[in-house]
């Protein structure tokens, strides 16, 4: 087990005294009244039988109850709402020559057609899960590339891994394919595979091989068929939307309009929504109001979108590439941040670490002064969107799935990597050593 700055005492019952915790994640709410200007408060956490038995004001428990953390931060397990475990870690064998979105799509498609067998997927996805687990992630929703015949290969592997990882990481899956598959019978077959797997029906709101600005006339027909297929099977919808810096990309508004017109009863999650940031203010706010009325949630992928958007050889990007997180939340929508791609043609870096994703999101989207309750966007909010009540929070009766950090406040957390974090699962420390990349070497041979 790697060196951690902290090791909890042995035994089934102990306390973590004098911990710093985000007030927005604490229940009961009475404790939040003591929060400082950054939204942090001091607490004693009583752990018994692998669960949080009590969340009390600091100083409530005697010294013999457990170690004094000296204001070290304690977070709940983190939640990655939008990632691509099926793509992860192919960068060493299939790089993106242009580092832009078009190059990423081309390179990924070539690798998928040549290499994505069940065994290849199983090894890489397992590697991603082991890494996320070591970092303190407790739940993941992954998108799975679903153009035929890939869905019939990837979803069975996902179901195997979901069963194998039950009790460690809660796994959900969403399909991803161009929206035009729903103009054909392939869309119905895909919906059946998703339903069999208990997943979410998803797509990219783009057509293959056609201009997508403005949206083609068949857009409404395709999206309505997706809604109908999802409604018939009791599925929720998870979409990749307007991942571009073209301000004329307005499919998010179309999703909101059609969801209300068709009375879609399921949940709708829209990822990326980058073009909102470059649209006229009035248009952007009208779209957000339409999304609020339709009950749409949004997930932003700040590290990947900043990496991909507004990229051109020899030219410095002129915008951050991310969507309007502050305005989305102010409009009354739930908004989360997530990791997205990891070491694949869409993003050459990453380590399935939602703590790092949160830290980068704060800096990229200026989620500070104060940080306040933005930390919930990496734990409680995505857990709620995934339908996981109580996950991503610190409350009596919840699982003692915790991350204990050396940092004592947001300034320290955001300034220095927390590589010596202690990750607790059911109150006991786990091995936080991520798997060695050499595990994947056999898959990287040309």
Q: Which residues are catalytic?
A: 243
What is the torsional sign of CA 72, 170, 393, 200?
positive
Q: Quickly count: other Cβ atoms within 10 Å of residue 262's Cβ.
A: 14
Output DSSP code: residue 33: G
Three-state SS for 59?
Answer: coil
Q: What is the C-alpha separation between 272 and 350, in angstroms, rounded?
A: 17
**Helix axes of 219-233 and 185-196: crossing angle, nearest 10 degrees:** 30
User: Could you write out the three-class secondary structure of 158-187?
Assistant: HHHHHHHCCCCCEEEEEEECEHHHHHCHHH
Q: What is the C-alpha separation between 239 and 230, in angstroms, rounded?
A: 12
Tokens 């380590």 appear where? 351
Q: What is the C-alpha separation between 411 and 368, in angstroms, rounded?
A: 10
Q: What is the C-alpha separation between 113 and 44, in angstroms, rounded?
A: 53
CA angle 368, 370, 371 (to 5 degrees): 60
């Amino acid at each position: 087990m790697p060196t951690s700055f902290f090791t909890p005492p042995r035994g089934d019952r102990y306390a973590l005294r004098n911990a710093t915790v985000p007030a927005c994640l604490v229940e009961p709410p009475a404790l939040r009244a003591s929060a400082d200007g950054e939204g942090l408060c001091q607490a004693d956490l009583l752990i018994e039988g692998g669960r949080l038995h009590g969340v009390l004001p600091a100083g409530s428990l005697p010294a013999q109850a457990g170690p004094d953390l000296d204001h070290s931060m304690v977070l709940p397990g983190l939640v990655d709402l939008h990632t691509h475990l099926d793509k992860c870690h192919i960068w060493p064998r299939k790089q993106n020559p242009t580092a832009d979105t078009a190059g990423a799509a081309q390179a990924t498609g070539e690798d998928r057609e040549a290499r994505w067998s069940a065994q290849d997927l199983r090894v890489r996805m397992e590697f991603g899960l082991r890494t996320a687990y070591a970092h303190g992630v407790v739940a993941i929703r992954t998108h799975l590339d679903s153009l035929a015949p890939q869905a019939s290969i990837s979803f069975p592997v996902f179901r195997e891994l979901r069963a194998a990882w039950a009790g460690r990481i809660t796994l959900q899956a969403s399909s991803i394919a161009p929206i035009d598959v729903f103009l054909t019978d392939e869309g119905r077959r895909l919906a059946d595979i998703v339903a069999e797997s208990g997943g979410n029906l998803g797509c990219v709101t783009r057509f293959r091989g056609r201009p997508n600005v403005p949206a083609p006339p068949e857009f409404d027909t395709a999206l309505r068929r997706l809604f109908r297929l999802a409604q018939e099977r009791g599925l929720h919808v998870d979409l990749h939307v307007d991942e571009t810096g073209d301000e004329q990309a307005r499919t998010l508004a179309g999703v909101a309009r059609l969801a209300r017109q068709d009375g879609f009863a399921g949940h709708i999650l829209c990822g990326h929504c980058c073009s909102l940031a470059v649209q006229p203010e009035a248009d952007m706010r009208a779209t957000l109001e339409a999304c609020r009325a339709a009950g749409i949630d949004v997930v932003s992928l700040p590290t990947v979108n900043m990496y991909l958007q507004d990229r051109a050889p020899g030219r410095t990007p002129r915008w951050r590439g991310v969507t309007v997180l502050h305005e989305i939340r102010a409009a009354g929508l739930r908004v989360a941040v997530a990791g997205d791609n990891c070491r694949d043609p869409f993003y050459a870096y990453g380590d399935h670490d939602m703590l790092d994703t949160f830290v980068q999101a704060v800096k990229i989207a200026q989620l500070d002064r104060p940080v306040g309750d933005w930390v919930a966007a990496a734990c409680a909010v995505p857990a709620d969107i995934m339908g996981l009540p109580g996950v991503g929070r610190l409350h009596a009766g919840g699982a003692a799935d915790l991350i204990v950090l050396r940092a004592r406040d947001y300034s320290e957390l955001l300034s220095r990597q927390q590589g010596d974090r202690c990750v607790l699962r059911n109150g006991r420390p786990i091995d936080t050593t991520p798997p060695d990349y050499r595990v994947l070497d056999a898959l990287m041979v040309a």
